[in-house]
C-alpha cells in the first residue's frame, strides 16, 4: 500500500491510499482538480471516498469527482450525498482495498467528526494535527480531549494523516510554552527546513506526537508549570481547554 498527500487550497491535504492493483481511496477531497490530476499521473482507479466531517474544504470536490467516478462515499451523517453516501459511525468497520477500516468517533472540531483507522494509517481530518489540534467549533474542549485520548490509545507507530499543514505554527506555539524542550526545538528547526523546500511535514507518527504535541501532554508537569495551573486528577481536560484557548489567540 502506498500513501500520497496532495496539497490543496491554502493548506489542506487530500490523502490517497492505493494498492498494488492501483486501486485507490481518497480522503477529504476539498477540491477535485488535484485529485483527478494525481489519478491520471499515477494511473490510479478511484474506488471509494472517505469523509471525516462536513466542512467545505473537505467535501467541496465531491460533486465533480462523482461525475467522473461514481464511487461509494463513507462519512458521517452530516456529509450525506443522496445515492452515494454510506453513513458510518463509531466502531463500524468497512472493507476497502482489502483493508478493514474501523470508524472512530472524534467529536470536537464538529459534532459528527470521525476518523478512519487501519493500521498503521489514521485519517483524522481536523482532530489532531502535528504538534496541535483542530479548532473547537461545534463541541466542547472536554469532548475534543476525549477524542485525543482515543487517538493516544492507538499503537505508537500509527501514522497520523491530518487534514492541514499547520505544523510550523503549532511548533512555534509549543516552543513558547516549553522554550527549553529540545525535542520540540529540534522538530521546529527540521520542519522549517522541510517547508522552505515545500515538502510536507505529514504524516507524522503517534510516537513523535506524544513528545511534541502539547495537547497530548496534559498530564505533564512541565505543561502545568508553564500554565501555572494544577487541576485535580481526572480534570486534565481543563489543561487541554486552556491550551486550546491560548492557541486560539496565538
Confidence (pLDDT) at 207: 98
Element (H, E) at 1: none
Domain of 101 in residue numbering reads as 2-248
Torsion-angle region of 111 (φ positive above 0: left; ψ -120 to 50: alpha; else: beta): alpha
Distant-in-sequence, close-in-space partners of 78: CB < 8 Å, separation ≥ 6: 53, 54, 110, 111, 112
Instruction: Give the pLDDT of residue 176.
Output: 97
Nearest to 184 by CA among 162, 160, 215, 154: 215
What is the per-residue pLDDT for 122? 98
CATH number at residue 83: 3.60.15.10
Q: Which residues contact 100 (CB under 8 A, 6 or more apart)?
A: 93, 94, 118
Q: How much is the pLDDT for 81?
A: 81
> How far apart, in whole angstroms, are the C-alpha atoms of residue 99 and residue 49?
14
pLDDT at site 158: 98
The CA angle 109-132-162, to the nearest 5 degrees, is 65
Is residue 125 left, alpha or beta, with left meaning phi > 0 and alpha meaning psi from -120 to 50? left
Cell of 137: 467549533
Give the pLDDT confidence score for residue 43 in this predicted structure. Answer: 98
- Residue written as grid cell 485529485: 35
- DSSP H/E element including 186: helix 182-196
Q: Please answer whether residues 99 and 138 qualify as being in contact, where contact means their C-beta atoms are separated by less than 8 angstroms.
A: no
Retrieve residue 133's grid coordinates: 489540534
Query: What pLDDT, on a 0 to 100 scale, did the predictor assign at position 84?
Result: 83
The domain tally of the chain equals 1
pLDDT at 83: 77
The sheet with strand 73-75 has its strands ordered as: 2-8, 12-18, 23-27, 45-50, 73-75, 85-87
Per-residue model confidence (pLDDT) at position 59: 96
| Sites in the chain below the pLDDT cut of 50 | none
Amino acid at each position: 500500500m502506498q500513501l500520497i498527500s496532495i496539497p490543496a487550497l491554502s493548506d489542506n491535504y487530500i490523502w490517497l491510499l492505493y494498492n498494488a492493483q492501483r486501486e485507490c481511496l481518497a480522503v477529504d477531497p476539498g477540491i477535485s482538480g488535484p485529485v483527478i490530476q494525481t489519478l491520471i499521473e499515477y494511473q490510479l482507479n478511484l474506488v471509494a471516498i472517505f469523509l471525516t466531517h462536513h466542512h467545505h474544504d473537505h467535501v467541496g470536490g465531491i460533486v465533480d469527482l462523482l461525475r467522473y467516478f461514481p464511487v461509494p462515499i463513507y462519512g458521517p451523517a452530516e456529509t450525506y450525498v443522496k445515492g452515494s453516501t454510506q453513513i458510518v459511525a463509531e466502531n463500524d468497520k468497512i472493507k476497502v482495498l482489502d483493508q478493514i477500516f474501523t470508524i472512530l468517533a472524534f467529536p470536537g472540531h464538529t459534532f459528527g467528526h470521525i476518523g478512519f483507522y487501519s493500521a498503521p494509517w489514521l485519517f483524522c481530518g481536523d482532530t489532531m494535527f502535528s504538534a496541535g489540534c483542530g479548532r473547537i467549533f461545534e463541541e466542547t474542549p472536554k469532548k475534543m480531549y476525549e477524542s485525543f485520548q482515543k487517538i493516544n490509545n492507538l499503537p505508537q507507530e500509527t501514522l497520523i494523516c491530518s487534514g492541514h499543514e499547520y505544523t510550523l505554527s503549532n511548533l512555534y506555539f509549543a516552543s513558547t510554552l516549553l522554550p527549553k524542550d529540545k525535542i520540540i526545538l529540534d522538530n521546529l528547526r527540521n520542519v522549517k527546513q522541510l517547508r522552505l523546500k515545500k515538502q510536507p511535514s505529514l504524516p507524522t507518527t503517534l510516537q513523535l506526537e506524544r513528545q511534541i504535541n502539547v495537547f497530548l501532554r496534559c498530564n505533564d508537569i512541565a505543561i502545568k508549570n508553564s500554565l501555572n495551573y494544577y487541576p485535580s486528577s481526572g480534570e486534565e481536560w481543563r489543561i487541554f481547554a486552556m491550551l486550546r484557548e491560548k492557541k486560539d489567540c496565538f
